[in-house]
Chains A and B, each alone.
Chain A
Amino acid sequence: MNKQKFDKIKEKLRNSSVGIAGAGGLGSNAAVALARAGIGRLILVDFDKIEESNLDRQYYFLDQVGKIKVEALKDNIKRINSAVKVEILNQKLEKGSMEKPFHDVDVVIEALDNAETKTEFIEEVLLKLPDKPVVAASGVTGYGNSDRIVTKRFGALYMCYDEQAKSSEDDVLLAPRVCLMANWEADLALEIILGEDSGY
């Protein structure tokens, strides 16, 4: 391993922060990936409680069913990397103030479920925090054909995108594809924070 590169990355990540909107399939898995990578600070926003049906793809456990997602996620992260500063907001993101929790993070990850809310969130953050990098995902359903996933960049917006995937109303949500997208989002956040990997 290239220790010099590793140390530089660890140092940079320790001083960086990511805000995540949603703590479901995308958000919980992206948060855990970033915590393992050594991100310094996470802001997690979600209003929901854990249901048993979430466990097919979300980073929670049977004994956490009924708990508030952001609280349980903070517990899980602390069991992996206690050095991460985790700030949680147990609230619904409301139209008109969706960008509020994310003013002072380096990167925002959109990890919401409903297409309408996703669109509103992206529009609002891009409009109100114009220079803030936003990583979003669209097309997380189904299985297989994962090489259709691409990163599309539009200015400060980075889309992790499979345009042929169906809506979750018409298709299944399963751990492999959802976790792929979540980790793709987390990886994009690293790339934004660290700059393109030069190999050294």
Chain B
Amino acid sequence: MRSYWVKTVGIEVNGRKIDWVENETIKQLLRRMRYTFPLVVVKINQKVILRKDFPDVVVPDNSRVDVIHMISGG
């Protein structure tokens, strides 16, 4: 039986499939998505990325990114 290896270039952000951009940081991705919320928790493939690392962490291909908007009130 033949096995196939299908290369997919793309990432999923909050359930939306978008193109993967090489060397794109989280900060750049948030700008590309037009996410302007000041306060977000970002997870890449279930790992939480701290806000201070947004300018340095590069989004890998095929990753699943979750951006949660933190809203005041309690």
Contact = CB atoms under 8 A, between A and B. Distances in A.
Interface of A: 22, 24-27, 111-116, 118-119, 122-123, 126-127, 137-141, 152, 154-155, 157, 159, 161-163, 165-169, 171, 173, 178
Contacts of B39: 115-116, 118-119
A101 B51 CA distance: 23
B66 A154 contact: yes
12 contacts: A112-B74, A119-B39, A119-B40, A119-B41, A127-B50, A139-B71, A140-B71, A152-B68, A154-B66, A167-B71, A178-B73, A178-B74
Contacts of B17: none
B39 to A, nearest CB: 4
Given A154-B68, A161-B68, A119 B73 contact: no
Interface of B: 38-41, 43, 46-48, 50-51, 66, 68-74
A118 B70 contact: yes
A27 B74 contact: yes
B72 A119 contact: no
B48 A126 contact: yes
A154 B46 contact: yes
A141 B73 contact: yes
Contact of A140 (B40, B43, B47, B74): B74
B41 A122 contact: yes
A129 to B, nearest CB: 12
Contact of A138 (B38, B46, B48, B70): B70
A141 B68 contact: no
Nearest to A172: B73
A13 to B, nearest CB: 24
A155 B46 contact: yes
Given A119-B51, A127-B48, A154-B66, A22 B74 contact: yes
B66 to A, nearest CB: 6
